[in-house]
Amino acid sequence: MRKIVIGLAALFLVAAACSDNSSSTVGATGATGDTGATVVAASAIECFDAHRDALYDSTALTIATDNPAFQPWFAGTGTYGEWKAQPNSGTGNPASGEGFESAVAYQIAEKLSVATDQVTWTPVNFNESYKPGNREYDFFIGQVSYSPERAQVVAFSDGYYDVNQALVANKGTPIADATTLADLKTFKLGAQIGTTSYQYIVDTIQPDQDPAVFDRSVDVIQALNNEQIDGYLVDAPTAYVNVLIGQAENGVVVGQFPNNGEYFGMTFDSDSPLVECVNLAIDELKADGTLADLQAQWLENLDYPVIK
């Protein structure tokens, strides 16, 4: 169920230059913002038209995400670059337009007047998405939670999803009966390094044992399967899928934690003018109901008990 509107034609601008080999640029709609005057954009398209020279590749909107890309954030089938969708294993193809974040990315591209075939994807490790340094892409989308520390070195878009953390454990184990933070104090918890899941364990749960930290999300799940940890934290939609498709082989979602203001945003170079354009696109997707529709389509209604 690819929920992408591909009807907008690709709009090209032949670069006016001295060279005989002109190249096409992405989403060009006119000569806005070429005089050096300050441009106040009223729409995502106007903003992008004024700042298209900030693209990493003038012929494409280059979007990064982790590999593998997991459901429900990325779905679909087929192979694209380094990604090979394996739905039975919970992985998807970011270029399919299926899965919540893939669909959001293509809807943002549409708001910028970028055609589907002008969107390219590049693999970037999650842990690199919020580190300083030059980026070989325009933005990263892949469940990156905003934090003031991360925002010191990268630019964040506005939020496109408010997220709750959830606890996954093995069925029938003592931790599966937990209903409060105090109930979790004595257990060995795990999380992926650099995530807000890890930070939630350290700052809020504050267990007696140091949490186990893993480089990749698949390693966290395997640690639970191997009974190296009692449970792990991850965002609630991912917890749902981990259990649904059997990645957590004997897993159950014990519950979710109250939202503490956490949200997912896309990350950019700290000085990228494209942040403004994407924020305008997000505003438009909220206003016309598209973002809510995509959440209803791709993210289940997570009716888990709240661990208080």
3-state secondary structure (DSSP) of residue 155: strand
- Nearest Cα to Cα of residue 102 among 113, 111, 93, 110: 93
Cβ(74)–Cβ(2) below 8 Å? no
Task: Give the domain CATH number at 228.
Answer: 3.40.190.10
Residue 302 confidence class, pLDDT cut points 50, 70, 90:
confident
- Nearest Cα to Cα of residue 116 among 2, 22, 15: 2
Average of per-residue pLDDT across 113-124: 98
pLDDT of 303 reads 84
pLDDT of 301 reads 72
- 68 & 157 share domain: yes
Give the global pTM. Answer: 0.79
Q: Is residue 39 part of a domain?
A: no
Q: Is residue 98 part of a domain?
A: yes
Q: Which domain holds residue 236?
A: 164-256
pLDDT of 42 reads 85
DSSP letter for 138, please: S
- 120 & 72 share domain: yes
| 3-class SS shares of the chain: helix, strand, coil, % to 5 | 30, 20, 50
pLDDT of 203 reads 95
pLDDT of 158 reads 98
Residue 41 confidence class, pLDDT cut points 50, 70, 90:
low
pLDDT of 25 reads 62
Number of structural domains the chain divides into = 2
- 184 & 279 share domain: no
Q: Is residue 57 part of a domain?
A: yes
- Encode pLDDT of 139-191 as tens digits: 999 999 999 999 999 999 999 999 999 999 999 999 999 999 999 999 999 99
Q: Is residue 290 part of a domain?
A: yes
Q: Is residue 49 part of a domain?
A: yes
DSSP letter for 205, please: I
- Encode pLDDT of 62-92 as tens digits: 999 999 999 999 999 999 999 999 998 899 9
- 81 & 190 share domain: no
- 242 & 268 share domain: no
- 203 & 220 share domain: yes
- 211 & 128 share domain: no
Q: Is 296 exposed, middle or buried (0-12, 13-18, 19+ CB in 10 A)?
A: exposed
Average of per-residue pLDDT across 257-277: 95
Q: Round to the nearest angstrom and report the end-to-end CA distance of the chain.
A: 37
Question: Dihedral of CA 215/67/291/306: which sign?
Answer: negative
- 252 & 282 share domain: no
Q: Is residue 38 part of a domain?
A: no
pLDDT of 35 reads 37
- 194 & 74 share domain: no
- Provide the mean pLDDT of the chain: 88
pLDDT of 17 reads 35
Q: Is residue 12 part of a domain?
A: no
Q: Is residue 201 part of a domain?
A: yes
Average of per-residue pLDDT across 126-147: 93
- 249 & 275 share domain: no
CA separation for the pair 57, 169 (Å, rounded): 44
Average of per-residue pLDDT across 219-230: 98
- 115 & 249 share domain: no
- 127 & 92 share domain: yes
